[in-house]
Chains A and B, each alone.
Chain A
Amino acid sequence: MTDKTASGDVRLAGISKHYGSFTAVHPLDLTIPQGSFFALLGASGCGKTTTLRMIAGLEEPSTGTVSLGDREVTHLPPYKRPVNTVFQSYALFPHLSIYENIAFGLRRRGIKSVKKQVDDMLELVQLGQFAQRKPHQLSGGQQQRVAVARALINHPQVLLLDEPLGALDLKLRRQMQLELKRIQTEVGITFVHVTHDQEEAMTMADTVAVMNGGRVEQLGAPAELYENPRTTFVANFLGTSNLIEASVESAGTDVVVSASGTTLRLPGQRCSTTPRAGGKLLVGVRPEKISLVHADEEHTVAAGRNKIAGRIADSSFIGVSTQYVIDSRVCPELEVYAQNIERDARLVPGAEVVLHWNPEHTFGLDAAMDIDAGVETVEESA
Chain B
Amino acid sequence: MTAVSAPPREAAPAEPPVHKASLRKRLIPYWLLLPGILWLLVFFVLPMIYQASTSVQTGSLEEGFKVTWHFQTYWEAFGDYYPQFLRSLLYAGTATALCLLLGYPLAYLIAFKAGRWRNLLLVLVIAPFFTSFLIRTLAWKTILADGGPVVGALNAVGFLDVTSWLGMTEGDRVLATPLAVVCGLTYNFLPFMILPLYTSLERIDTRLHEAAGDLYARPATVFRKVTFPLSMPGVVSGTLLTFIPASGDYVNAELLGSTDTRMIGSVIQSQYLRILDYPTAAALSFILMAIVLIMVSIYIRRAGTEDLV
Q: Check B211 against A108 for contact (C-beta < 8 Å).
A: no
Q: Check A93 against B214 for contact (C-beta < 8 Å).
A: no
Determine, out of A27-35, A79-87, A277-285, A343-351, the stretch whose residues face the partner at the interface.
A79-87
Nearest CB on A from B308, distance (A): 13
Q: Mark B204-224, 1 if CB is under 8 A from A, else 0.
A: 010110111111111001000
Q: Does B230 contact A (CB under 8 A)?
A: yes
- Which residues in A have their C-beta under 8 angstroms from that of B216? 79, 105, 108-109, 154
- Which residues in B have their C-beta under 8 angstroms from that of A304? none
The residues of B with any CB-CB pair to A shorter than 8 Å are 205, 207-208, 210-218, 221, 225-226, 229-230
Q: Check B207 against A87 for contact (C-beta < 8 Å).
A: yes
Cα separation A87 to B230 with both chains bound (whole Å): 19
Q: Check B213 against A78 for contact (C-beta < 8 Å).
A: yes
B214 touches which one: A79, A89, A94, A109 (CB < 8 A)? A79
Contact of A58 with B214 at beta-carbon distance under 8 Å, contacts A91-B205, A91-B207 already known: yes
A to B CB contacts below 8 Å, 7 in the list: A58-B210, A58-B214, A93-B226, A108-B215, A150-B215, A151-B214, A154-B215
Q: Check A93 against B208 for contact (C-beta < 8 Å).
A: yes
Q: Check A87 against B229 for contact (C-beta < 8 Å).
A: no
Cα separation A252 to B212 with both chains bound (whole Å): 59
The 8 closest A-B pairs by CB, nearest first: A105-B215, A91-B211, A108-B216, A91-B207, A78-B213, A85-B214, A79-B216, A108-B217
A78 touches which one: B207, B210, B226, B229 (CB < 8 A)? B210
- Which residues in B have their C-beta under 8 angstroms from that of A130? none
Nearest CB on A from B116, distance (A): 15
Cα separation A56 to B221 with both chains bound (whole Å): 19
Chain A interface size range: 20 to 34
- Which residues in B have their C-beta under 8 angstroms from that of A92? 211
Q: Check B213 against A93 for contact (C-beta < 8 Å).
A: no
Contact of A87 with B210 at beta-carbon distance under 8 Å, contacts A79-B217, A94-B230, A108-B221 already known: yes
B211 touches which one: A57, A93, A95 (CB < 8 A)? A93
- Which residues in B have their C-beta under 8 angstroms from that of A95? 226, 229-230
Name A91-128 residues within 8 Å CB distance of B.
Answer: 91-95, 104-105, 108-109
Name A134-156 residues within 8 Å CB distance of B.
Answer: 150-151, 154
Cα separation A151 to B214 with both chains bound (whole Å): 9
- Which residues in B have their C-beta under 8 angstroms from that of A79? 213-218
Name A280-319 residues within 8 Å CB distance of B.
Answer: none
Nearest CB on A from B236, distance (A): 14
Q: Does A45 contact B (CB under 8 A)?
A: no
Cα separation A87 to B205 with both chains bound (whole Å): 12
